Every structure is written in C-alpha cells, then in structure tokens.
Structure 1
Amino acid sequence: MKKYNLSKKWKWSQFSANDMERIKPLLLQDGNEWLKKVRDNRSNYLRVKAPENGEKVVYGSLIYQQSFEDDQDYKIFHFYVTEDQWITVDLALSMFKHINLEFLIRQINRTEHAVDGFLIFLGELMNEMLVEIDQFEVELKTLIWSIRNRNETGILEKVYRRRHELLVWKSLLIPIRELKMGIEEADFEEVSRGEIFTRTCRRIERAVVLLNEYEHEIDSIINLEEVISSHRGNEIMKTLTVITIIFTPIMAYGALWGMNFKYMPELGWRHGYLFAFILVIFTTLLLYGYLKVKGWTGDLLKGKKRGSFFK
C-alpha cells in the first residue's frame, strides 16, 4: 500500500487487490458494493452516490490501456473518491510512458479536495492518450497519401486496421466521458465550477473531437476505396467484354475451319491460307473500328497512370 498525505484536508491511498481488509475500514457504508466489484469486475463501470444529507462519493473501475491486437490485454484500475479521500486499487503508474510522476504528485499536492486530485490525474491520463492519438494521426496521414501513390489490397487492410484502432480509442474514451458526467452529477462543492475540472473537461472534449474527425476521415477513405474498387471492377469487366468481342471473328473462323467435313472447298485453294489470314485480320479490325466509332472502348485498353485513381 502507498499512502500520500497530500494536504491536511485529504489523502490519496493506493492498494493492490490483495489489500481488501486494509481498504474496508476506509470506506463508507456503501463501500461493500465497490469492494465486491474490485474482486470480480474486469470491465468499466461507474456509480454515483449523492444523498441530500451525507457524504458524496463516486466509485467504479476504469480501463485505461488496451492492446489493439488482443482484447484480453488491457489495464484496469478501481477508484473510490469522496471529498476528503481518494482510494485506487491496481493503478500501475509505471505503465504511463508520457506522465512525469514527480510533476503529477506536485500538481495533486496543490489541490484542496480529493476530487480535484482525481481530476488532475484524469487530465494527465488524457494527455497520455492525446500523445498516442497524435501518433495515430501521423499513421493516418501516411495512409491517406498511400492510397493515391500505391493503391492496392494491402492498403485496404491498413485502412481497416486504423478503423479498428479508432474504435478501440473511442471505447477507452467513452467511460472517461461518463466519469466526467458522474462527477458533475455528484455536484461536489466548488469542483464543477473550478479551473481543474474545466481544464480536464476540455482535454476530454479535445480527444472526442479529434477521434470524431479521424472517424470522418477514415469513413471518407473507405467510401473512396469502395468507389475506386467498384469503378475498376466495372472497367475490368468492360475490358474483358471488349476483348472477347474483338477476338470473336478469330474464334468463329477457327471453329469453322476446324470442322472435319469431307468436302471443304477452301482446303483446295492455292492461296486459302493467305485468304483466311487476311479475312481474320480484316474482320477483327473492322469490328474494333466499329466499337471505336461507337465510343464503346473509351480508355479501357490503356494502362493505369501512376498516382491516378481512375486513369
């Protein structure tokens, strides 16, 4: 157990899940429900107790890290917050890559309420997420230009990987927004109107706006890919159709002269081979010219230009 006596008015205590007996005396009467969840719960949840006459409390569990590859690879901690104390269970501060723990403790040390200390931690947690989201933005920008420069099936796989990562980020952010609303619902004195609460809310909303915008970008990429794939599929089918039509005379004459009839006048012609060759070439070119005049070939038989979506 770690205990931080951060001010004369409140304290922050950290426990592991094995310290149940040491946690129980610190809780209010409704703390047994939270302790049971600490033992059994492995998902996000939140409870707000704000009686008219009695101490207000916000408690629950929060998943703060999640692997993009394995749904069972995540980090969760449990919290219990009143005006004069903040209790955490299984909070691994060493897992945060971008949080300066000494600076965090100094910031929390300046607060007058446990709720403000908890809000400062949430703000730093949001900073941690925002740094990771910035890296996501770099990868998304690279992906956007890859679609133009080298559009292939592998790119589509990367698009849907980014889409899945975005869904994971949003699943982490939703319970944090709920927690912010829970603190508002509890209506702790001077907290909802304070600078710390406002700053933390702005960080949460900034992350929400960024993820929503990235979601619009990825949806636009997916729509673009669907249009391009549909267009190219249609072009391929048209091209195959045109090629089949152009070579129809060759196949027809080949089928005709491949028959085994006993009497075939062409077999006795001195220049029959040359005649057949010229006839095949002439009818093929005639048919191609007809398709060209009608405008049915378009640019189907041209190669795709590098860096172009359709040409």
Structure 2
Amino acid sequence: MAKRKHRKNQNLLTSPGTLTYVGPDIDLNTIVTRIQYNKEFYREEQLTGKKDIEDFLSFSHPGTVNWFDVNGIHNAAIIAHLGKTFKIHPLVLEDILNTIQKPKMEWLGENSLFIVLKALSYRVPESGPRKKAPGIESGMEVEHICFVVQPGVLLSFQEEISEDAFVEVERRLKTSVGKTRSNGLDYLLFSLIDIIVDHYFLVLEKLEERLESIEDEIMKGSANYKLGDLYGLKQDLTVMRRCVLPLREMLLDLMRDESGFVKPEVEPYFRDLYDHAIQVIETIEIYRDLMASLVDVHLSSMSYKMNQVMKTLTVFSAIFMPLTFLVGVYGMNFDNMPELHLANGYYIVWAVMIVTAIGLYAYFKWKKWT
C-alpha cells in the first residue's frame, strides 16, 4: 500500500447518496473476484475493468458461500453496478467510496449488515543522521475496507489493488486448509476481520521496535533522534487508536445479535477475536502512556543539558571575576601605585591570578559544583 494524503472530501454539499469517490488518485483497474465454495466445491473467477458483469454475477452454485472481493473502489461505475445488482442502499455505497469514513457497523436488515474497517500497515521512517528531510516522520499507512453481508453473499471492498489484504484467506479456501471451507458466511466474515486484526499486531511490533529504539537513544543521551521522531510516533499511535477503538463495539454488537447470523459454533471465534481487539487497544494505551513519559524524559534531558552548559559557564565566570578585578585595578592610570615600581611586580600579579584561579577551581571541585 502506498501512503498518500487523501484529497478533500468532494461529496460535500452534494445530494445524499451521490456516488463520488473520495480518496487518492489511482491509475490501476478495479478487479472484481468472485469466489464460490463449500466443503466439496471451490470456484474462482475474476473480472477486470468495466466489462459487462451481468453474466459474471448471475452464475450460482447451490449450497455455496458467495464472496465478491472488489479490489479498487475508485471506479464508481462498477461500485454503482454492484449496488444495483445486490440492492445496496445508495448511502451505503457512498460510505464505501468515501475512504475517510470512520470505522462503523450498521444492520441493514435481518442477517444483513454493513461494516467499515481500516487495515493498517507500517513502514519504519528513516531516522538519525541519514534522515533526508527534517520534521515529523510518520510511517502509518491506512487502507479503507468495507464489508456488505447479505444472506448467502459477502461483498468486500478494498481501497487499492497494489496489495491484497485477504490473500491469506483466499489461499486457505483454495487449499481447503482449516475450517474456512467447512463453515458458512459468518466464519468467512470472522476470517477476513481476523486477518485485519492480525496486521494490527504486526504494526504494534514495529511500533514497539521504534519506541524501544527512541527510548534507548534518549536514555543514552544520543543526538541521533529529534523531537519530531517522538511526535511522529505519537501521531502513529493516535491514528491506530482511532482506527481500532470502534472495533470493540462492533464485535460486541455481532455477538449480542439475536438474529442468528453468528451461529453458536462460530461464536467462540468471535469472542477470541474480541479478546484480540481488546489486547490491541490496551497495548496502544500502554504505548501512548510510555510515549508521554518519553516526551517528558526528552524535555527533562534537554533541560538538564542546558543546565550543565549554564553551570559550566557560571563556573568560568566565577573564576574570571576576581582576575578581571585584579587586572582592572592595576590597569588604572595612577602614578602612586607602589606595586607598579616593583621589579617583579608583573610576575607577582600573574602568580596571584594563577593561584586565585586554581584555588577557586579546587573549591568548586570540593563542593562538587563542576
């Protein structure tokens, strides 16, 4: 996934339900993949571009789960056609096309629901002396993911096609590995959300590594980090928290639902997924607290270094003050100064100044002021 800043929301001030893609420009074609399966049967078809998809959508094998994976939501025409075919409400389609839509879940009817999630990945920014550009460095990459679930059908929508977020689930279905082929639509939804949550843990691992690296640099007093590194990491944690926190309530709503969408044999998997989501949220909070502590340590370290500099300058000033007094006294233009006529007066003054400087320095050392 490529990290880009989203452009401004272009569907503002338009009629509700207007299908306008809100997100970064993408040159790649939208790919629609249909996967049908049950315990004994598996079929996968793929359509690229804006071809007629009526025949593609019409084929149905009895007793199978139908999964339509749309990779690349920037093609509003294909999204609109899918919405018409599956009778998806225009407001739902509008949220699918809006990549800045926050995570949420809505029940559209009995055994029908709409889910918005954010898939996360992370690249560690360059830091230290090799960093090319100064400022706040953020490595969080966010991808817009949507699910529309209807009886017997699940549609998944991914923001871009450079990296398929669900390739691991597709591999399990092809090889008939695990429980995915043996269960129904509820288990497929669990598998897809579980993949997204697993990536949250991968992101947390990289954030932990970066956090430990910055912490080591701060504790060693190294100059290979900047305050922008800390605030970049804080920004990443804030983005992740905003993406993950709503998942807790979504999973609770799914497990509390009495319509029977989540079958009893699949419910333990959702409970386990809920535990994982709670673990991710708690870890984020721990890292945020540690991040705040590191900022305080950083500022304290900077203050300590400044105090050390000021202490050194103060010691030198204290040593040179009596010396300045001596040279000021003997620099006055008076004739009646007995010391001026001593043969060794010059050397005596130097000796007094040296002894005074050494004495003051020894006193400061004894007091542990240096």
Kindly indicate whether the alpha-carbon contact (under 8 Å) linking 1:47 and 1:59 is maintained by their aligned counterparts in 2: yes
TM-score (norm 2): 0.66
CA change 1:260–1:154 in 2 (3 A) is farther
The one of 17, 21, 25 equivalent to 2:81 is 21
- Secondary structure (helix, strand or coil) at the match of 1:62 reads strand
* TM superposition shift of 1:104: 5.7
What aligned pairs does 1:151-170 form with structure 2 within 5 A after superposition?
Answer: 151-152=222-223, 154=225, 156-170=227-241
Unaligned runs of 5+ in 2: 1-31, 39-62, 124-136
Kindly indicate whether the alpha-carbon contact (under 8 Å) linking 1:48 and 1:58 is maintained by their aligned counterparts in 2: yes
CA change 1:73–1:147 in 2 (3 A) is closer
What aligned pairs does 1:286-301 form with structure 2 within 5 A after superposition?
Answer: 286-291=359-364, 295=367, 298=368, 300-301=369-370
- Secondary structure (helix, strand or coil) at the match of 2:37 reads coil
Matches of 1:25 and 1:169, distance apart in 2: 35
Matches of 1:98 and 1:254, distance apart in 2: 82
Q: Indicate the RMSD between aligned Cα atoms, in angstroms.
A: 3.4
Matches of 1:104 and 1:260, distance apart in 2: 101
CA change 1:260–1:177 in 2 (3 A) is farther
Letter in 1 for 2:106: V
Matches of 1:157 and 1:257, distance apart in 2: 54
Letter in 1 for 2:342: W
What aligned pairs does 1:99-138 form with structure 2 within 5 A after superposition?
Answer: 100=168, 101-103=170-172, 106=176, 107-112=179-184, 114-138=185-209
* TM superposition shift of 1:26: 0.9
CA change 1:56–1:255 in 2 (3 A) is farther
User: Quick check: 1:81 aligned with 2:149?
Assistant: yes
Alignment match, 1:179: 250
Of Structure 1 and Structure 2, which has the larger fraction of its residues in helix?
Answer: 1
Alignment match, 1:210: 283
Which is further off, 65-74 or 137-146? 65-74
Alignment match, 1:230: 303
TM-score (norm 1): 0.76
Matches of 1:149 and 1:10, distance apart in 2: 57
User: Quick check: 1:220 aligned with 2:251?
Assistant: no
* TM superposition shift of 1:64: 1.5
Kindly indicate whether the alpha-carbon contact (under 8 Å) linking 2:120 and 2:196 is maintained by their aligned counterparts in 1: no
Unaligned runs of 5+ in 1: 302-311
Kindly indicate whether the alpha-carbon contact (under 8 Å) linking 1:10 and 1:85 is maintained by their aligned counterparts in 2: yes
Aligned residue pairs total: 291
Matches of 1:55 and 1:284, distance apart in 2: 90
Kindly indicate whether the alpha-carbon contact (under 8 Å) linking 1:61 and 1:76 is maintained by their aligned counterparts in 2: yes
